[in-house]
Structure formats: structure tokens, C-alpha cells
Structure 1
Amino acid sequence: DVALASVSMRSVPFAPVLEKLSLSDPKYGTVRRFYIKTLEDNAIPTTLQENMINASPPEKVFQLKGADHSPFFSKPQALHKLLVEISTIL
């Protein structure tokens, strides 16, 4: 698993994380949002995920059992299934 992760993971530039996000009241909420809750996430525990969901409720919340902070690695098939399901929601 470690060997696969080391060749699969890519570095992400940190600078965009530091940029201030600018949202306008007229446009806020115009993009549909969904949340995939990762139930075994040690980086963002479920209680914190719940707080994030409650602070800015998405259209629908999905749960991935056994998924950690990187569901694309820990539960790739289940994540794919959820993303396909989300893509079909009208």
C-alpha cells in the first residue's frame, strides 16, 4: 500500500491555500454542492465534518464507510460509485 501511494500521490502547491477566497452575496450558493463524509478520517474527524456541513449545508450528504482523508486511495471504487451517482442528480 505504501509503495502504491508513493507513486500515486502528487504534491499540491501550497500557495493557493493561502489566498483569500472572495465570495459575493449575489452569486453565493448558485453552484450545487454535495459533501462526501469520510467516516474514518483522522485529519478531519466526523464531528468537525458535521460542523462544516451545518455551517454551510450542501444539497446532499453522502457517507463513505471505511474511507479516510484520502478516499481516492482508501476506497476508490466506493468513491467512484458516489461520484457517478452525484453526476446523475438533476
Structure 2
Amino acid sequence: MVRTRSDHLLYSLEELLPYDFEKFKFKLQNTSLEKEHTRIPRGQLQTAEPVKLASLLVNHYGEEYAVQLTLQVLRAINQHLLAEELHQLISPETNHSYRLG
């Protein structure tokens, strides 16, 4: 079975320790978004566990931007190894369109 970007996004969220997962949600709520996107409502974020958050991200932003935003937030909370792993997992699907910064 081929894994999708959504599968890789979920894997990354599940790899975060509880404290880091809370930091991820906090930073997600306070991260700059592209103009055409709005924030996920805070009430939905606060109670979301990894599976629910992955679903919220993909449904709210679309799969491609959800992964891009996840990479951005992972780097912002100093989860560089996890961001690189996600980047490597999605790179074959995206022809290296996501760059680590």
C-alpha cells in the first residue's frame, strides 16, 4: 500500500512527545499563513489528538499545504530531525518542492 502525504503527516504528529505536541498546536495557532488560508479554530485545536489534528490540517488546508505548514511548525519548535524525516518521506511525491530551511 502506497502511503500518502496525509499518512506521513500523521506519522510525524504521532512521533511528537505530549509536551512537544502541545507546543506544535500552540505554534500552529500563532504561525503566519498564506493569504488565502484561515486558522483552524482554537477550540478544535485544543482538544485535538494526533489523528484528529492530521484530519483537521488536511481538511482545512488541503494535503499539500498541510504538509508544508507542518514542516514549518516542526522547524519552529526545533523538531528539525522529524521535519527532515517528513521532508524525505514526501520528497519523492513532490519532486523536492519542500525545502528545509
Which structure shows the higher strand fraction? 1
Larger Rg: 1
TM-score (norm 2): 0.31
